[in-house]
C-alpha cells in the first residue's frame, strides 16, 4: 500500500493559506503536481468566479485600534457600535434595517470570519468585545476590492458514469487545517491507497467553496454549483454523493440532516439530491466553533488518529456501494 503522510500533506496545503484567490490557485497547482508525480490522471473543470478581497479594515474604540478582519462584500464606514452581533447565530445579519455591523464568534478567542454580509462589516475576537462595549466612540472603515479569477475543480476517476461522487474543498478562509486541508488529505489518501475505486468513483477536489459573489442561493459552495451545472447527469445517476468537510479534530461521523448539508454542499437542487448525499465530518460541531474560520484552525488541532479513522469510514462507505 502506498505510504501516505497525512500531516505532511496538510502542512504542504496550509503553506498556501489563506487559500483564496492566488492562494487557492497555488493550492490547485500543488494538487495537480502531486497527482502528476504519482501518475494519476485527472481533468480540470474551470469556472469563473469573483471574491471580495480586503484592501483595508480598521476599527477604533476610543481611538485605540482593535484588531479586525473584513467580513463583507462591499466596503464602507462603520459609524458606531450599534450593530454588535454574533456571527454564528443563523440569520443574525439578515435584518433589513442593518446597514453595517461589528461581529464576533462567542466561542472563539481569535478573529473568526464565520459569516459574510452584504454591507460593511468587520469581525473582532470575542476577547476584545469588552473594549467595544466599554468604549464611548467606535468607528471603522473597510475597503473591499472585487477579484475575478478562474477557479479549478480537479476531477479524478470516472467522470462519465460514476456510481459515487466524492467531494472535498481545498480553498480556505485563513489557515484552514481542519476546514478543509484535513478532508483533502483523507480524499487523497483514498485515491492513492485504493486506486481500484477510480473505475467507479469520481473524486472532486472542489474549488471556491468558501466565498463568492454568487448570491443565489448563497455565497458559499460556488464550486459545487459549478460542478452541478456541468455534471448534472452524473449527479442524477450516481447512487451516492459524499462530501468530506472539517475532519481530524475529533472522530468523524456521517451526517445527512439538511442543515449539515446546506452549509457544505449547497447545490441549487440540494433538496432533490439530499436523500443520497452524506457528509463526513467532525462529530463535535460545538468543539469546532472555537476555531471556525480563524487563525486557530492550525495543524496543532489535528490528530492523525482521527484522520485514519475518517479514512477508514470513507473507504468502508465507498466499498459498500461498489
Ligand atoms: Zn469547509
Q: Summarize pLDDT for 100-129 with one digit per residue, the tens.
A: 999 999 999 999 999 999 999 999 999 999
The sign of the torsion formed by the CA atoms of 37, 38, 39, 40 equals negative
Return the pLDDT at 322: 83
Return the pLDDT at 1: 65
Return the pLDDT at 120: 97
* Predicted confidence band of residue 287 (pLDDT cuts 50, 70, 90): low
Distance from residue 176's CA to the centre of ligand 1 (Å): 8
pLDDT tens-digit profile of 166-198? Answer: 999 999 999 999 999 999 999 999 999 999 999
What's the whole-number mean pLDDT along residues 254-263?
Answer: 94
Q: What is the DSSP letter of 131?
A: H
Residue 130: is its pLDDT beyond 80? yes
Return the pLDDT at 91: 66
Distance from residue 33's CA to the centre of ligand 1 (Å): 23
Distance from residue 272's CA to the centre of ligand 1 (Å): 22
Q: Is 300 exposed, middle or buried (0-12, 13-18, 19+ CB in 10 A)?
A: exposed
Distance from residue 169's CA to the centre of ligand 1 (Å): 7
Which residue carries 464568534 as its cell? Answer: 105
Which of the pair, 275 or 96, is modelled with greater confidence? 275
Query: How large a percentage of the chain has pLDDT more than 70?
Result: 97
Task: Give yes or no for a contact between 53 and 74, defined as CB atoms under 8 angstroms apart.
Answer: no
- Domain segments of the chain: what residues? 6-51+148-321, 55-145
Distance from residue 283's CA to the centre of ligand 1 (Å): 14
Report the alpha-carbon distance of residue 85 to residue 105 in Å, rounded.
Answer: 9
Distance from residue 179's CA to the centre of ligand 1 (Å): 5
Distance from residue 138's CA to the centre of ligand 1 (Å): 32
What CATH architecture applies to the domain 6-51+148-321? 3-Layer(aba) Sandwich (3.40)
Distance from residue 264's CA to the centre of ligand 1 (Å): 6
Distance from residue 261's CA to the centre of ligand 1 (Å): 11
Residues at Cβ < 5 Å from ligand 1 ion:
179-180, 245
Cβ neighbours of 33 (radius 10 Å)? 10
Distance from residue 157's CA to the centre of ligand 1 (Å): 22
Amino acid at each position: 500500500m502506498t505510504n501516505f503522510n497525512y500531516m505532511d500533506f496538510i502542512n504542504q496545503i496550509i503553506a498556501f493559506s489563506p487559500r483564496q484567490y492566488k492562494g487557492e490557485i497555488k493550492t490547485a497547482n500543488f494538487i495537480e503536481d502531486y497527482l502528476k508525480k504519482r501518475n494519476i490522471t485527472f481533468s480540470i473543470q474551470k469556472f469563473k468566479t469573483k471574491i471580495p478581497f480586503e484592501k483595508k479594515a480598521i476599527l477604533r474604540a476610543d481611538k485605540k485600534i482593535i484588531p479586525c478582519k473584513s467580513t463583507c462584500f462591499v466596503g464602507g464606514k462603520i459609524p458606531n457600535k450599534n450593530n454588535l452581533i454574533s456571527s454564528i447565530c443563523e440569520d443574525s445579519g439578515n435584518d433589513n434595517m442593518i446597514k453595517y455591523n461589528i461581529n464576533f464568534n462567542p466561542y472563539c478567542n481569535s478573529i473568526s470570519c464565520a459569516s459574510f454580509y452584504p454591507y460593511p462589516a468587520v469581525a473582532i475576537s470575542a476577547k476584545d468585545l469588552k473594549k467595544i462595549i466599554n468604549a464611548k466612540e467606535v468607528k471603522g472603515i473597510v475597503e473591499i476590492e472585487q477579484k475575478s479569477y478562474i477557479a479549478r475543480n480537479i476531477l479524478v476517476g470516472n467522470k462519465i458514469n460514476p456510481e459515487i461522487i466524492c467531494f472535498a474543498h481545498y480553498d480556505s478562509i485563513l489557515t484552514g487545517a481542519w476546514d478543509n486541508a484535513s478532508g483533502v488529505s483523507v480524499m487523497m489518501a483514498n485515491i492513492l491507497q485504493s486506486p481500484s475505486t477510480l473505475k467507479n468513483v469520481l473524486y472532486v477536489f472542489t474549488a471556491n467553496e468558501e466565498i463568492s459573489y454568487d448570491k443565489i442561493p448563497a455565497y458559499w459552495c460556488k464550486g459545487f454549483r459549478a460542478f452541478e451545472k456541468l455534471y448534472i447527469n452524473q449527479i442524477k445517476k450516481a447512487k451516492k454523493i459524499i462530501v468530506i468537510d472539517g475532519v481530524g479534530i475529533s472522530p468523524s461521523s456521517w451526517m445527512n440532516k439538511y442543515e449539515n448539508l446546506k452549509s457544505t454542499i449547497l447545490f441549487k437542487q440540494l433538496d432533490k439530491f439530499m436523500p443520497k448525499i452524506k457528509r463526513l465530518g467532525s462529530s463535535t460541531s460545538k468543539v469546532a466553533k472555537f476555531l471556525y474560520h480563524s487563525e486557530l484552525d492550525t495543524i496543532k488541532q489535528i490528530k492523525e488518529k482521527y484522520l485514519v479513522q475518517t479514512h477508514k469510514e470513507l473507504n468502508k462507505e465507498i466499498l459498500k456501494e461498489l
